[in-house]
Structure formats: C-alpha cells, structure tokens
Structure 1
Amino acid sequence: MTESPADRSNSRSGNRRTPPARNGRGESPVTRETVLKAALEIVDRDGVESLSMRRLAEAVGRDPMVIYRHVANKAAVLDGIAEIIFAQLAVDPSAPDWATELRSVANDFRRLALAHPRVVPLLVTRPLATPLGLRSPAVIRPLEDILALLTGAGFAGADALHIYRMVFGFLYGHVLNELQEMVERAEETDEVLRLGLHRLPIGQFPLIRELAPVLASYDGASELERGLDILLTGLAATIPRHG
C-alpha cells in the first residue's frame, strides 16, 4: 500500500500529542479549567515557587492578559489548584459507619497527597488563608459532607465540627511529615549514617540515635492507620452520641 503524505507526516510526528480543538481564529480555546490544569502541571513538576503568571501563560500558549480573564491573580491560581485536588476527595455522608468512612477519606487524602507532593502545602494553607464563605464549593464540600456524616451518626453539630478538625489536623500533619526528606545518604546500610545522625553530639541525643532503625524504616501507610486507630477510638469513647 502506498503511504500517503498524511501517513508520512503522522509517522514523523512520533508520540507528539494531538493538538486540542481550535476556535474559528485557529487558536485553542482557553477556559479556567485549562488554566488551572496547566498550573497544576507546573507545580507538580517544578514546585509552587516556579509558578508565575507569565510562565502559566506560556504553558497555555497565550498572552498573559488572556490568563487574567479566567483567574484574577496568582493567589486565585493557587486557590484553584487546591480546588482541583479537593474536588477529587469524595465523602459519603450516608455511610453506615462514620469511623470507617473517615478512615477511607483519610487514606484517599494521603493518596492524593502522594500523587501531588508539591501541592500539599497549598492543600494545608490555602483554605485557611481564605474566609470560609469565599472558598470554592469544591474545597468546603468535604466539610459539609463530613458534618452530615457525623450528625447523621448521632453527634451534635459542635462535636461533629470538633471531630472534623481533629481528623484533618492529624491528617495534614501526617502527610507533611511523611513527605519530609529523612534519608541523607540512601546508599548507607547503617541507619545512623543514612539519616545523618552522626552529625549530632553523641551524648546529647541518645534516644534519637537509638531509634535510628525505626526512623529509617518509616512506613507512611502503617503510621497513618495506627494514628487513626488511636484518634478515632479516642473520639468515639469521649464524645457522646444521641439517638
């Protein structure tokens, strides 16, 4: 079969991505979703500090003024990135077992955090930097659904809010801790050397040096489950339910 010019062109293009649909002026349509997705890709790849409106405009292939039609400023972009991640966090407010559902939500949040480690600081700080009523519905939806889950399980509204704050306070701390770089020299077999603990004065930190094997073998999934066991058991035992 004779290869057509189009076939030869496709063959030369290799694995190049198919260009997106374009509007009547030959330009790809730009939406808020397009802008935020490009911003997330930049942060995932290079970190929050590498994100700028100019670089975002270059990633979208537009003049910066086009970007400003969809997001007011960089702060709005950062809020939007957090919104994308929180929109993937599903809570079933009608789940029959509140503790099991919160455990599932916690594990889902950890999964999202590990998939987007450079976004985690935004997930922890951006919602807190915005008044509750000004946050995106996607960001406050987990709060509403968890409150519905807990009040449906018999907790008073104020107690439900307390449980939410306790669980997410623990969860934020856990993912930040898990994502910290703990190993200095991965090729070392001695845990003290791997963690760089040989730099510490021997006589001043004996317990930390003693726990070097435990520190070096940190298991985020197991640590999360153990923390949830303690937290959820304690909450169930100390906060009364009605009905």
Structure 2
Amino acid sequence: MSPSPAEPVAEECEPPPSGKLSRERMLACALEIIDREGIDKLSMRRLARALHHDPMSLYRYAANKAALLDGVAEIVLSQLTVDPSDTDWLAQLRSVARQYRRLALAHPHVVPLLVTRPLATPLALSPPGTLRPLEAILALLTGAGFSGPDALHIYRALFGLLHGHVLNELQEIVDNPEETDDLLRLGLHRLPIGEFPLLRGLATALASYDGAAELESGLDILLNGLTAKLTPTT
C-alpha cells in the first residue's frame, strides 16, 4: 500500500543489532519521530514503516497510541535522576530542576506529554516510569525529616514551577532575528502603544531572556520560601 499524501513516510529509525523489534527500540523510534516533527505526526502505521515492521507487531508492546505516548514519556523521564540518599535536599532538588529543564529543551515536542497528559490520567493508572521521580523525591524529603504531606507539597510546588518555566522558555521566540532593535526583533512594534505601553517598554528585558538564570531565580524564591515555612521533624 502506498503512503497517503497526508502522511509522508518518516525517516527510517536505526534498526536494532538483532533485527528484532523490542519495546525499547519501538519507543526510541517513536521519540525520534516526535523530536523531528511533533506528536501529531506520530501514528502506529508510520512508526511501523520507520521500523520496517508490520503495524500489527507494534500492538504487542503498546495497545494504542495513548499507550505509546505514555511509553515515550517514561523513557524521557527515565533520564531524570534523583538521589534519595542525598543529605542536602535543597541541592538535590536544584539538580532535579536543572535536569528537567535540559530534558525539556532536548525534547520540546515531548513537553506536552510531561506537563498536560498526566492531568488526564488518574495517579494510580499512570505508567510506573512517570511516577518514579515522584516516589524518589518523596523518599528524599521524608528522609530529610519532612512529613509525607509536606514532602508532597514541596514536590507539587517544585514541578508547578518547572512546568510553568519550561512552557515559558519554549515560547520565547524571536520574530525577526535579523533586526537589531529589540522592539522589532520581538515584533512588539505591532502592539498598539496606547494599549501595551509596559509590555513594549520591556522589549530589552524580554530579548535578553536567559532560561537558565530565570530558573535559578525561580528556584531561589521557591526553595527559600519553602525552607522558611516548612520545618523537618527530625
């Protein structure tokens, strides 16, 4: 069957050395396609073509596209390392935050799977791989002496910050890179000055956005506030 014009053939994925399909190889190929072209371009049929396998063979490893996307989220989050035995919980949370930002920038098309998809899935039905960072951070914080509810509060506050940050950073797009004037580079000159004087006046600050520095500033505010409000029990 020839491919539909609406669904062009994806670039091939590197075959496994054995030539046999595995869940790991299937998910790695799915991530490659998402990284290149986005979630909407991924389908079971297209993935099968990229792997040189029959589409039906994929259903052995993923019941449907939703399960496939859950698997992709799992393999990305598997790269997020948390050391529950670290005695410096603040430093460990900073490490986790920095890793998460790097993963988001490396796989920007996967960010919706990490940020919004979990909201549509009951916690108990989430893929185990997506829950391991939560479990590890809870272990880190309870090991540091926080109560379970306080540890959960800290986790939610941290990832609320991270999700907001990566979504903001990924939308920082320069409109006209060749322009030297910040107002023109960002396209803010199109905004009526009578309605958006403050936003237009921040053109230089917006143009000099530094995602890494912005994250560190946010972490300072969050972690200092949590430290002042919550006290470990031991």
TM-score, structure 1 normalization: 0.88
- Give the deviation of 1:128 after TM superposition: 2.6
Q: Which residue of the partner structure matches residue 64 of structure 1? A: 55
Q: Which residue of the partner structure matches residue 53 of structure 1? A: 44
Q: Which residue of the partner structure matches residue 84 of structure 1? A: 75
CA distance in 1, matches of 2:142, 2:16: 46
1:154 is aligned to 2:145? yes
Query: Contact 2:16–2:25 (CA<8 Å) still a contact in 1?
Result: no
Question: CA 1:18–1:202 in 2, change beyond 3 Å: closer, same or farther?
Answer: closer
Question: CA 1:33–1:53 in 2, change beyond 3 Å: closer, same or farther?
Answer: same
1:112 is aligned to 2:113? no
Larger Rg: 1
The Cα offsets for residues 157-180 of structure 1, whole Å up to 9 and x where unpaired, read as 101100000000100110111011
Q: Which residue of the partner structure matches residue 183 of structure 1? A: 174
Gaps of 5+ in 1: 1-16, 23-27
Q: Secondary structure at 1:72's aligned position in 2? A: coil
Query: Contact 1:93–1:145 (CA<8 Å) still a contact in 2?
Result: yes
Q: Which residue of the partner structure matches residue 141 of structure 1? A: 132
CA distance in 2, matches of 1:175, 1:39: 22
- Give the deviation of 1:129 after TM superposition: 2.3
Amino acid at match of 1:122: L
Q: Secondary structure at 2:145's aligned position in 1? A: coil
TM-score, structure 2 normalization: 0.91
Amino acid at match of 2:96: V
% of aligned pairs identical?
67
Question: CA 1:18–1:140 in 2, change beyond 3 Å: closer, same or farther?
Answer: closer
Amino acid at match of 1:225: E
Q: 2:203 aligns with which of 199, 212, 223?
A: 212
Q: Which residue of the partner structure matches residue 8 of structure 2? A: none
1:237 is aligned to 2:234? no
Q: 1:33 aligns with which of 24, 33, 42?
A: 24
1:44 is aligned to 2:35? yes
